[in-house]
Structure 1
Amino acid sequence: MSKLKINGKMLLNIGFQQGPVISVAITVIEQHFKHHSQEEAEELLKKILADPAAYVDDAIVGKIAEKLIKAAPAKEIALRETPVAYAIFGSNYIEEGALRQMNNAVRLPVAVAGSLMPDAHQGYGLPIGGVLAADNAVIPYGVGVDIGCRMCLSILDLPVHSLTAHEGQYKRELMDFTVFGAGGEWKKREADPVLERSEFNDIPFLRHLFDKASRQLGTSGSGNHFVEWGIVEITAAQNEWNLAPGNYVALLSHSGSRGLGAQIAGHYTQVAKELCPLPQEAKHLAYLDLDTEAGQEYWLAMNLAGDYASACHHHIHKRLIKAMGATMLARVENHHNFAWKEIHEGKEVIVHRKGATPAGKGMLGIIPGSMTAPGFIVRGKGEVSSLQSASHGAGRLMSRTKAIQSITNSELTKVLQEHGVTLIGGGLDEAPAAYKDINTVMAAQTDLVEVVGRFLPKMVRMADGGPRED
């Protein structure tokens, strides 16, 4: 007898539609029919699919039948006529596409408040740099594909002159202890508490993602993801780490939840679109009510992906710090591409920050520039009009396609040499000229954050091209 293997792909192949019924069917079959053959299970599922009404009273498979009956196309949900007002920071250099997307977002029936950061540009659903507070609902594309994409900065006790005196060692360790790109896996599986989380068993959709998550733990994505050595300038005499003002060697990384997060985003976005059909111009903003099973599943899966992203950074930093024989003096890290439960005007709301940095009062974060421009360690001011948020970087000035068409390899080489930066991997789509001026962006958000220190990149590793997200 062949081993019973029930997954979403198999169910889609026999005619099931993407949606909550997939998770229910997997759970029911695995719990009650695990001793049946693959053929028997598939035949039963085909019969239920063909006539769900005939099985709705069945004590076991009735759950599947109910989901199939409820999966009939829902009536389109209208957008509100009067949009929620929202604040814009750096309005003079935010593209029209981002404004149009934000204008759609604040017309959602669940929209409570919004804001647009100075690095904003067009994305899918909520614009990158968009912040939206919703009433008891979560928007998968308001979070983004790379769930929990994150910054992590470790300040080390290495002498600054070692970056040039031992450049070869820094480069070798950066090459040996990082892996980039779609499908990239670390050479051996690492143990981590995040892999022991119950969600991998409790949520049927996540079960088949465990192996991928285990293999990709401690690796980085493609696109604008990086790991880099550089110099931190601590400018504030009073800081959270009691470090003397001055220069320090630091390790900075930017990456997210890898294939785990991408598949969670894709699955629950499709579920949301089926449960919450919106007009064409807002279809990518489909949301899940947190009082529903699908909404709770996504919320748990999103938080798992965020914690997984954090674990990836910590493994990368641990390997590199150990390889360099260094000691960590301080660390700053923060998510973007995430949703949080927060209080706004006395009411709990779900705040989506898609490409935006949390900037609650006293909260530390990192806002990077580009591979040659400085990044900034910042302390949030808790500005209410921004929903206590700030930009997550400089923001794109050019699309990837336009950057590749407009920037030459010689131009990129020249600007790297002028700034004394060594680049490993990367491409023209990530060239500094493809990004807004980080100093202009920072000047537009002085009401949102104060600068505690600066990070100057010196050796940057990125993926060798490839797709934007994995």
Structure 2
Amino acid sequence: MDHDLLHAPGAHPIKLWTHGVPVEEDARKQLINTARMPFIFKHLAVMPDVHLGKGSTIGSVIPTQGAIIPAAVGVDIGCGMMAARTSLKAADLPDHLFGLRTAIEAAVPHGRTAQRGIRDKGAWGEAPHEVDQMWAHLEPGFKRITEKYPRLEKTNNHLHLGTLGTGNHFIEVCLDEGENVWFMLHSGSRGVGNAIGTLFIELAQQDMRQHMAQLPDKDLAYFTEGSQHFEDYVEAVGWAQDYARRNRQVMMARVVAAARSIIAKPFDAQVEAVNCHHNYVQQETHFGAQVLVTRKGAVSAHKGELGIIPGSMGARSYIVRGLGNEESFCSCSHGAGRVMSRNEARRRFSIADQEQATAHVECRKDSEVIDEIPMAYKDIDAVMAAQRSLVEVVHTLRQVICVKG
């Protein structure tokens, strides 16, 4: 059997593709809480990068009928990956990669300025033309949403489009097994997606105030199909997912332009391209039924569908092709998955550890990125081995440049 089965009293079955990778006890408890919700369709599917999350477990696939859990989608709505193979070879890259890294850093706002009253370095001061053009596609939908929920108007929306963010969001230059150069990045719906997620999580909890005591976790508060908030959330989450996809497209175009400013040799940047979400919800058909599938830290892996599974900033990443495994609701992992919290990583590791773990990568190696040290993540090889029945590897990538927010 390619997966393990977890049964708990009063819960739907839980199927785990976790052979050979650790699953923390708190994550198991959280999975059981979600599996106890009455509207789960058939079973939960759990990916090998599974770890504790807010409300629902990261690395889980939650199929529902007649209801939707906003906290299961989370606040980084539409977070995902984009990768593009170029016509460049490793030998075409500069001997010293610092100049290319700094050109990418200059082209895409990243990080965040916490102090109030100072312009946030992670947002545009003035949006470039291509950001304005992309926002024009998004603005009508945003107006419809903000007419109902004016609180969302005063969010970072237009000026966050085409920006990276913080934490585990990154831009990388990678080489595949044939020494082909790839650009790869990871980001989502930025400030506006966070605001949408936060608002609807609050609304779900307010709507269920009388029933909260019966919920295994307040973050499992849900909207029922047919209710006004259900329809509004489906509209808003769909818009945020579109924003996230377009955000990655703008960033990728700017990364390519930055590379062209450094690399004299002309190159094609769309030899192969993949753009996939891993925090989202959409309607799909499974086992002959219409189902809402929430992938919280999981990627769609329908038969023949391409996806991206990144490792850490010091490990390999993979371009994969889905095998269409119905038992997993045609899904796979979204990365390696953390084995410790950010605070634990900061406590346990030093700058010297970070320098050693990323010696082969042109990247920042300071105290601000220790929480992203490779040792804070599961072994990507073990994660890939656990999901052999879900995906096949098309390309194996190793990063040579990594830009962190």
Give the TM-score taking structure 2 as reference length: 0.87
In 1, Cα distance between equivalents of 2:325 and 2:280: 19
In 2, Cα distance between equivalents of 1:368 and 1:387: 21
1:374 aligns with 2:309: no
Deviates more, 1:271-280 or 1:430-439: 271-280
Q: Deviations over 1:390-439 (max 9, x none)?
A: 1100000111111100011101111211x344337751110001000000
Q: Which residue of the other structure, out of 149, 169, 172, is the alignment partner of 1:225?
A: 169
Task: Please tell me whether the aligned partners of residues 137 and 290 of structure 1 are also in contact (alpha carbons under 8 angstroms).
Answer: yes
In 2, Cα distance between equivalents of 1:374 and 1:272: 39
In 2, Cα distance between equivalents of 1:157 and 1:169: 20
Gaps of 5+ in 2: 1-7, 113-119, 261-266
In 1, Cα distance between equivalents of 2:311 and 2:343: 20
Partner of 1:82: 10
Partner of 2:402: 460
Task: Please tell me whether the aligned partners of residues 424 and 460 of structure 1 are also in contact (alpha carbons under 8 angstroms).
Answer: no
Partner of 2:193: 261
Q: Which has the larger Rg? A: 1
1:119 aligns with 2:49: yes
The offset of 1:211, in angstroms, is 6.2
Partner of 2:39: 110
Structure 1 segment 295-334 matched on structure 2, within 5 A: 295-325=230-260, 326-328=267-269, 329-334=271-276
Alpha carbons of structure 1 residues 206 and 436: separation in structure 2 relative to 1, 3 Å: farther
In 2, Cα distance between equivalents of 1:164 and 1:350: 47
Q: Please list every run of at least 4 consecutive aligned residues from structure 1 whose deviation after the TM superposition is greater than 6 angstroms.
A: none
The offset of 1:312, in angstroms, is 1.1
Partner of 2:140: 197
The offset of 1:136, in angstroms, is 2.3
Percent identity reads 35
1:281 aligns with 2:216: yes
In 2, Cα distance between equivalents of 1:195 and 1:344: 30
Q: Which residue of the other structure, out of 287, 294, 304, is the alignment partner of 1:352?
A: 294
In 2, Cα distance between equivalents of 1:383 and 1:363: 12
Task: Please tell me whether the aligned partners of residues 194 and 307 of structure 1 are also in contact (alpha carbons under 8 angstroms).
Answer: no
Q: Deviations over 1:250-309 (max 9, x none)?
A: 111011111111111111001111223333532111111231110111111111111111
Match for 2:55: what amino acid?
A: G
1:338 aligns with 2:285: no
Give the TM-score taking structure 1 as reference length: 0.75
The offset of 1:214, in angstroms, is 0.5
Q: Which residue of the other structure, out of 401, 406, 423, is the alignment partner of 2:364?
A: 423
Please give the secondary structure, in 1, of the residue aligned with 2:110. Answer: coil
The offset of 1:138, in angstroms, is 1.4
Alpha carbons of structure 1 residues 459 and 389: separation in structure 2 relative to 1, 3 Å: same
Please give the secondary structure, in 2, of the residue aligned with 1:249. Answer: strand
Alpha carbons of structure 1 residues 104 and 457: separation in structure 2 relative to 1, 3 Å: same
1:188 aligns with 2:131: no
1:128 aligns with 2:72: no
Partner of 2:307: 365
In 2, Cα distance between equivalents of 1:173 and 1:424: 18
Q: Deviations over 1:341-378 (max 9, x none)?
A: 01121111111100011111111100000111010000
Structure 1 segment 99-178 matched on structure 2, within 5 A: 99-112=28-41, 113-165=43-95, 167-178=97-108
State the number of aligned residues: 371
Partner of 2:338: 396
1:247 aligns with 2:179: yes
Task: Please tell me whether the aligned partners of residues 147 and 256 of structure 1 are also in contact (alpha carbons under 8 angstroms).
Answer: yes
Deviates more, 1:345-354 or 1:276-285: 276-285
- Structure having greater relative contact order (Cα 8 Å, sep ≥ 6): 2
RMSD, aligned α-carbons: 1.9
Task: Please tell me whether the aligned partners of residues 424 and 461 of structure 1 are also in contact (alpha carbons under 8 angstroms).
Answer: no
Match for 2:364: what amino acid?
A: L
Match for 1:423: what amino acid?
A: R
Alpha carbons of structure 1 residues 205 and 232: separation in structure 2 relative to 1, 3 Å: farther
The offset of 1:206, in angstroms, is 5.8
Partner of 2:3: none
Please give the secondary structure, in 2, of the residue aligned with 1:371. Answer: coil
